[in-house]
Structure 1
Amino acid sequence: MMRKLENHRAILFDLDGTLVDANPDIAEAARRMLAELGEPPRSDEEIGRFVGKGIGVLVERALNIGRREHTEAEIAAALERFITHYAAVNGQQATVYPHVREVLEGLRAQGVPMACVTNKAAVFTVPLLQKLGLSGFFACIVSGDTLPQKKPEPEPLLHSCRELGVAPAQAVMIGDSDNDALAARRAGIPVWLVRGGYSEGIAVDSIDCDGLLSSFADLPDLLAFSRSRVPT
Structure 2
Amino acid sequence: MIKTINLQCHLQGHTSPHQFNQVQGVVFDKDGTLAQSEGFLAHLARRRARRVDAMVPGTQEPLLLAFGVERDHLNPSGLQAVGSRYENMIAAAAYIAETGISWFEARTLAQQAFAEADAHESAKASQTPLIPGVMDLVQHLAAAAIPLAVLSADSTANVQEFLQTYELDTYFTQARGIEPPLAKPDPAPLLHLCQDLGIAPAATLVIGDGDGDMAMAQRAGAMGLAVTWGWTVTPQFSQTNIVVDRPDALQVVAG
TM range (shorter): 0.7 to 0.9
> Is 1:103–2:137 an aligned residue pair?
yes
> Is 1:74–2:102 an aligned residue pair?
no
1:176 to 209, 212, 228: 209
Q: Percent identity?
A: 23
Q: Deviations 1:35-86 (Å, cap 9, x if unpaired)?
A: 4453747556247532212012234556767x96572122111222244234
CA contact (8 A) 1:29 1:89 kept: no
Over 3 Å counting, the alpha-carbon distance change for 1:212 and 1:83 in structure 2 is same
Over 3 Å counting, the alpha-carbon distance change for 1:98 and 1:32 in structure 2 is same
Query: Which residue pairs with 2:249 in the alignment?
Result: 218
2:73 to 45, 60, 67: 45
Over 3 Å counting, the alpha-carbon distance change for 1:107 and 1:202 in structure 2 is closer
1:54 to 84, 87, 92: 84
Supply the distance in 1 between the matched residues of 2:125 and 2:111 (Cα, whole angstroms): 24
Which has more strand, going by share of residues?
A: 2
Give the secondary-structure state (helix, strand or coil) at the position aligned to 1:130: helix
1:5 deviates by: 0.7
> Is 1:84–2:99 an aligned residue pair?
no
1:6 deviates by: 0.6
Supply the distance in 2 between the matched residues of 1:128 and 1:27 (Cα, whole angstroms): 18
Q: Deviations 1:79-129 (Å, cap 9, x if unpaired)?
A: 22244234x241232121121100101111221211101010123222122
1:137 deviates by: 1.7
What stretches of structure 1 of length at least 5 have no aligned partner? Answer: 227-232
Query: Which residue pairs with 1:165 in the alignment?
Result: 198
CA contact (8 A) 2:137 2:248 kept: yes
How many equivalent pairs are there? 219
TM-score with structure 2 length normalisation? 0.74
Supply the distance in 2 between the matched residues of 1:63 and 1:160 (Cα, whole angstroms): 31
Over aligned residue pairs, what C-alpha RMSD do you find?
A: 3.0
1:224 deviates by: 4.1
Query: Which residue pairs with 2:17 in the alignment?
Result: 2
Query: Which residue pairs with 1:26 in the alignment?
Result: 41
Q: Which has the larger radius of gyration?
A: 2
Supply the distance in 1 between the matched residues of 2:210 and 2:163 (Cα, whole angstroms): 20
Give the secondary-structure state (helix, strand or coil) at the position aligned to 2:30: coil
Query: Which residue pairs with 1:229 in the alignment?
Result: none
CA contact (8 A) 2:51 2:117 kept: no
Query: Which residue pairs with 1:116 in the alignment?
Result: 150
1:191 deviates by: 0.6
What stretches of structure 2 of length at least 5 have no aligned partner? Answer: 1-15
Supply the distance in 1 between the matched residues of 2:21 and 2:214 (Cα, whole angstroms): 19
